[in-house]
Amino acid sequence: MGSRTNIRNVIDQWKIIHAKAPDNSQYIACIEGLVASSNPRYPQPSSIRTSYLTAYEIEGDTFVVITARRSEYALGTRHPAEFLSEDFLKSVLPERKRAAAPSPFDGAGTQITAYTEADSQDAPPPAGADDKPAEKPRTR
């Protein structure tokens, strides 16, 4: 797991901080650990605690957590005292799914609204070209 990526901060010596949401007592988890990256906000390894986790994603051999603030962190080395692993996080967090690939164009439901042949003298005018303003109804 601890492979370094260019687009995410890596949390090393991470551990899970357990809590319950105050409004509904639902289990929530945060990650605490050391962040070191090329990000100018973290020039030296800094101890951080994330906002609560909302999802996870596995990208190659990297386990990524997504927080409530939409930050993404790759999990590096686990803290020696942390006995829970990424498998525990899989059991309590939903996996973020990538958007499905768009389906190929289906022309069966398409309607042609106007068609003009390039060489035709009898072609109808473009849609809207001969529109006239509606006349007001006459009142007696």
Per residue, the 3-state secondary structure of 61-81, as one string, reads CEEEEEECCCCEEEECCECCC
Cβ burial, residue 106 (10 Å; 0-12/13-18/19+)? exposed
Contacts of 59 (CB under 8 A, 6+ apart): 5, 74
- pLDDT per residue, tens digit, the chain (140 aa), is 444 444 688 999 999 998 877 788 788 899 999 987 666 765 777 889 999 999 999 998 999 999 999 999 999 999 999 998 899 999 889 998 754 555 555 555 555 555 556 665 665 555 555 556 556 666 66
Of 77, 28, 21, which Cα lies nearest the Cα of 53? 28
The whole-model pTM stands at: 0.59
Taking alpha carbons only, the member of 77, 83, 19, 81 closest to residue 50 is 19
Using CA atoms, how far apart are residues 69 and 57, in angstroms rounded to an integer? 16
Nearest Cα to Cα of residue 2 among 77, 108, 90: 77
